[in-house]
């Protein structure tokens, strides 16, 4: 049981002190197929919750990533520039997208935990 | 010659539907059919497998039509020439040619393959267009020709550098075929009509097979170690790298053969100074553009960054003025970078010309390049 939380858009949020690391779920990468490019936000950019913050391009299509929590982007995963397939091979680890310094420490609390997300994904199948 | 065009209502199934499901295909609606877009390996691996070994594609959604005339193939050929800017009468038996149905404004109604099968012409048209193509043929040719759709036939494509070795193992006669020729061949007990062609840029075959034997033939081919099942996703990236048009995207009724840079498909015999000039729908428009040029042209477009530029992306010059649009684009797994094609003003169509593409509010630099992105490797004997 991790502290990872999930949105209905299949993004995950992992709290690390006052920052949140953000990526997409294994189900999401599976649905997207081979990822060939990730357009990441610039460090320092500030986003409201739900704002479009990044774009994932798979072979098939472009998909938007929305900020699951509000805050300032403090770090992006530069490794995705060289190897976007990390999103497919390790979506919860090396395939993370960016870190946000969160504005509201409780913002992630309302998101789904591991079990709730598993049930949610099952409900989609 | 593949195409999109999702239609509402009941989706049709190809003879390989059950096999696709057994192989773990992800199915999508396409041209009115439930089609396999990818199998378990995913699009990039399937694409590479086709370029490196041999891929088996189910293209049974495409329309297969038999055209015969009262006095043999000749009169059907003469009749078909009224609808295509292509030399069909000069097509020798066993030879195949790429053709276009034009409308009276010179726009493209569909692209197709025409083969002289001896006592008839064999046409393969796009799945999304086949009903309207049949209506078009019946409207214009029914007085002179017998027009028979072949819905009881499947169509398999075996593509890749090892396709010939694989197929010759089952039917040695196919080794005699060269690019754009065809023959009746029995494969694994099925009476097939096999053409050495395809739409991936690789050597390979398209195999018309009775629907009842299509699954058995597909299983037999998949049993060969070089062969893997490939979905429509990889078919699209393969044809894009090969610089080949996708009907409904790169060509349609709003584009002419000259604008589409398909002048190579306009046979000499049908040009102004040819043996049978014009005589097809829209001929005046097409011939005038052949001589005087068109205001825009389809070109290869290489994005200089890593972001794929897809259909609909606007192209702009240095002043921000719109000069064209991308009609297909994506990631080219063999090219190793994004690839695209689109229409630009003729003045901007020379290879090496650089301009911009608007993606999510930012200008991405692109360069006009010669097609194809990946060298075609057809077997010409």
Residue A44, domain CATH: 2.40.50.100
- The per-residue pLDDT for B235 is 98
Please tell me which residue of chain B has the smallest CA distance to A64: B360
Q: Is B43 on the interface with A (CB under 8 A)?
A: yes
What is the band of B74 on the pLDDT scale with cuts at 50, 70, 90? Answer: low
Evaluate whether residue A74 is within a structural domain: yes
pLDDT tops 80 at residue A52: yes
What is the band of A103 on the pLDDT scale with cuts at 50, 70, 90? Answer: confident
pLDDT tops 80 at residue B7: no
Evaluate whether residue B11 is within a structural domain: no
- The per-residue pLDDT for B42 is 94
Q: What is the mean pLDDT of residues B227-254?
A: 98
pLDDT tops 70 at residue A63: yes
**How many CB atoms are closer than 10 A to CB A26?**
16
- The per-residue pLDDT for B57 is 98
- The per-residue pLDDT for B71 is 55
**Does A60 sit within 8 Å of B43, measured CB to CB?**
yes
Q: Which residues sit opposite B186 in a β-bridge?
A: B191
Structural domain for B291, as ranges: 263-369
Evaluate whether residue A120 is within a structural domain: no
B157 and B50 housed in the same domain: yes
pLDDT tops 70 at residue B2: no
B97 and B187 housed in the same domain: no
Check if the beta carbon of residue B125 is closer than 8 Å to that of residue B110.
yes
- The per-residue pLDDT for A35 is 97
Q: Which residues sit opposite B124 in a β-bridge?
A: B64, B113
What is the band of B119 on the pLDDT scale with cuts at 50, 70, 90? Answer: very high
Structural domain for A31, as ranges: 5-103
In the numeric block, the tokens 């991308």 are attached to: B326
- The per-residue pLDDT for B78 is 95
% of residues, chain A, pLDDT over 90: 88
Evaluate whether residue B250 is within a structural domain: no
Crossing angle (nearest 10°) for helices B73-80 and B130-141: 110
pLDDT tops 60 at residue B4: no
Domain's final residue, options B178, B208, B241: B241
Residue B328: phi and psi, rounded to 5, are -150, 150
B29 and B136 housed in the same domain: no
pLDDT tops 50 at residue B6: no
Mutate to test the interface with B, among A29, A32, A36 (most CBs of B within 10 A): A36
Helix (H, G, I), strand (E, B) or coil at A37: strand
B168 and B210 housed in the same domain: yes
pLDDT tops 80 at residue B9: no
Helix (H, G, I), strand (E, B) or coil at B61: coil
**Spatial separation of the C-alpha atoms in residues B207 and B33, rounded to whole Å:** 19
The DSSP bridge pattern shows strands A98-102 and A71-76 to be: antiparallel
pLDDT tops 80 at residue B1: no
Evaluate whether residue A98 is within a structural domain: yes
- Number of structural domains (chain A) is 1
Indicate the residue of B306, B307, B331 with minimum beta-carbon distance to A59. B331
Please tell me which residue of chain B has the smallest CA distance to A38: B307
Evaluate whether residue B257 is within a structural domain: no
**Does A33 sit within 8 Å of B38, measured CB to CB?**
yes
Q: Which helix (H) or strand (E) holds A88?
A: helix A86-89
Evaluate whether residue A119 is within a structural domain: no
Outline where DSSP puts E strands in chain A: 5-6, 11-16, 19-24, 35-39, 46-47, 52-58, 62-66, 71-76, 98-102
Convert the pLDDT of each residue in B178-203 to its tens digit. Answer: 999 999 999 999 999 999 999 999 99
**Does A37 sit within 8 Å of B307, measured CB to CB?**
yes
- Which residues of A fall within a CB distance of 8 Å from B231? none
| Angle at CA of residue B62, ends B246 and B38, nearest 5° | 70
pLDDT tops 80 at residue A1: no
B67 and B45 housed in the same domain: no
- Number of structural domains (chain B) is 3
pLDDT tops 70 at residue B355: yes
B140 and B89 housed in the same domain: yes
Evaluate whether residue A96 is within a structural domain: yes
Residue B59: phi and psi, rounded to 5, are -120, 35
pTM, entire model: 0.94
CB under 8 Å to B88, separation ≥6 — which residues? B77, B78, B80, B81, B97, B99, B114, B116, B121
Please tell me which residue of chain B has the smallest CA distance to A60: B233
**Spatial separation of the C-alpha atoms in residues A79 and A83, rounded to whole Å:** 6
What is the band of A108 on the pLDDT scale with cuts at 50, 70, 90? Answer: confident
**Does B331 sit within 8 Å of A57, measured CB to CB?**
yes
Evaluate whether residue A83 is within a structural domain: yes
**Does B308 sit within 8 Å of A57, measured CB to CB?**
yes
Convert the pLDDT of each residue in B85-100 to its tens digit. Answer: 999 999 999 999 999 9
B348 and B205 housed in the same domain: no
């Amino acid at each position: 049981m991790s502290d990872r939380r999930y949105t209905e858009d299949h993004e995950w949020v992992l709290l690390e002190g006052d920052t949140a690391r953000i990526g997409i779920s294994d189900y999401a990468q599976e649905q997207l197929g081979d990822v060939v490019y990730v357009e990441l936000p610039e460090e320092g950019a500030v986003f409201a919750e739900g704002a479009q913050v990044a774009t994932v391009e798979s072979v098939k299509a472009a998909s938007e990533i929305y900020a699951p929590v509000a805050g300032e982007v403090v770090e992006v995963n530069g490794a995705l520039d060289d190897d976007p397939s990390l999103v497919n091979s390790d979506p919860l680890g090396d395939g993370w997208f960016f870190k946000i310094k969160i504005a509201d420490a409780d913002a992630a609390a309302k998101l789904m935990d591991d079990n709730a997300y598993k049930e949610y994904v099952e409900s989609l199948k | 010659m593949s195409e999109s065009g999702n239609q509402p209502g009941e989706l049709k199934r190809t003879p390989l539907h059950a096999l696709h499901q057994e192989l773990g295909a992800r199915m999508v609606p396409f041209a009115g059919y439930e089609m396999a877009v990818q199998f378990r390996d995913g699009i990039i691996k399937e694409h590479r497998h086709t370029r490196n070994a041999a891929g088996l594609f189910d293209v049974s959604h495409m329309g297969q039509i038999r055209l015969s005339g009262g006095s043999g193939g000749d009169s059907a050929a003469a009749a078909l020439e009224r609808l295509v800017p292509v030399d069909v009468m000069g097509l020798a038996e066993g030879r195949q040619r790429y053709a276009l149905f034009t409308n009276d404004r010179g726009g493209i109604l569909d692209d197709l393959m025409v083969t002289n099968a001896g006592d008839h012409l064999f046409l393969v048209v796009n799945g999304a267009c086949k009903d309207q193509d049949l209506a078009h043929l019946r409207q214009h040719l029914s007085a002179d020709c017998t027009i028979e759709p072949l819905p009881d036939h499947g169509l398999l494509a075996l593509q890749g550098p090892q396709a010939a070795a694989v197929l010759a193992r089952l039917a040695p006669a196919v080794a005699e075929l060269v690019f754009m020729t065809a023959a009746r061949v029995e494969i694994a007990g099925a009476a097939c009509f096999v053409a050495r062609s395809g739409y991936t840029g690789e050597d390979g075959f398209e195999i018309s097979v009775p629907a009842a034997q299509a699954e058995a033939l597909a299983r037999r081919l998949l049993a060969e170690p070089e062969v893997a099942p490939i979905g429509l996703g990889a078919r699209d990236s393969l044809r894009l790298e090969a610089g080949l048009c996708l009907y409904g995207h790169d060509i349609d009724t709003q584009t002419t053969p000259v604008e589409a840079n398909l002048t190579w498909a306009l046979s000499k015999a049908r040009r102004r100074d040819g043996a049978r000039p014009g005589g097809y729908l829209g001929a005046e428009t097409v011939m005038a553009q052949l001589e005087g040029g068109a205001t825009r042209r389809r070109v290869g477009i290489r994005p200089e960054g890593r972001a794929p530029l897809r259909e609909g992306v606007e192209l702009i010059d240095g002043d921000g003025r719109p000069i064209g649009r991308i009609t297909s684009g994506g990631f080219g797994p063999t090219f190793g970078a994004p690839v695209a094609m689109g229409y630009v003003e003729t003045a901007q169509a020379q290879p090496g010309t650089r301009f911009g593409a608007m993606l999510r509010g930012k200008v991405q630099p692109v360069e006009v390049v010669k097609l194809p992105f990946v060298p075609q490797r057809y077997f010409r004997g």
